[in-house]
Amino acid sequence: MICLVIFLSAVLAASADKIVGGSDAATGQFPFIVHFDSASVEAYCDGSILNEFWILSAAHCYQNTKTKAYYAVAGDLVLSDTNGAEQTVRMGQNIQHPDYSSRTLQNDIMLVELQTGLDLTAGSSSVNAIQLPIESPAPGTACDISGWGNVLASGTYYPDKLKFVTLPVIAKATCNQPDAYNGEVMDGMICVGYMEGGKDSCQGDSGGPVTLEGTNTQVGIVSWGYGCAQPNYPGVYTDVYYYVPWIQSTMN
């Protein structure tokens, strides 16, 4: 299985997606997105705010926070600038789904507990929570995918400013055709993008939110794919609705 990979001092054992063919995000457009930082790497993965103490992300973004310091940064737009709305909070435990497979990327979902709660009242236009979905998105549903990941389908360029792209959900049967993923898109996964390629998420967007267009309802998590924006290989995302019971029971 060919997966996109993230680099964080060493290669992590997972895949990642990026924003290719997207646009600059506006201030406050995605108040629920956070990026994860270490002492040496900025925005190595993304996540989304569930509430003041919990972040939703991808299991392949896991880090052992007992041995090193990792942080979640909310309210950011341009990585190199400080706009006064940023909140930087040290991560506590990273809780991967117990059935996560690094080989197939099935159950690629993780909860991150923060050591200190985010303030979701002072800057609600810049820092706010997502809503969990009430159903899986149907084929054709328009979704926004946001992140600071690579913007090139061939080559590497990581943007300073948050990007997003709006793409449709694709039927799983279409993604699983023999000339596409050939059955590798499993339960708990959704495809979002175009079969002809051209627009996609990419390296550095891993763990970030896929939301219903123009809303804060999260239906997907950036997970994996073959390359970025390649024909027949749209992005594959964790289906958030499939895991709502696990999310709620774990937080409780």
Q: Which residues are catalytic?
A: 60, 108, 206
Distance (Å, whole) CA 251 – CA 114: 12
Cβ(113)–Cβ(100) under 8 Å?
no
Can you tell me the distance from the alpha carbon of 202 to that of 80, in angstroms, rounded to the nearest whole number?
20
Radius of gyration of the chain (CA): 16
Find the angle CA(119)-CA(120)-CA(125) to the nearest 5 degrees: 125
- Residue 107 backbone zone (phi > 0: left; psi -120 to 50: alpha; other: beta): left
- CA nearest 113: which of 86, 131, 94, 89? 94
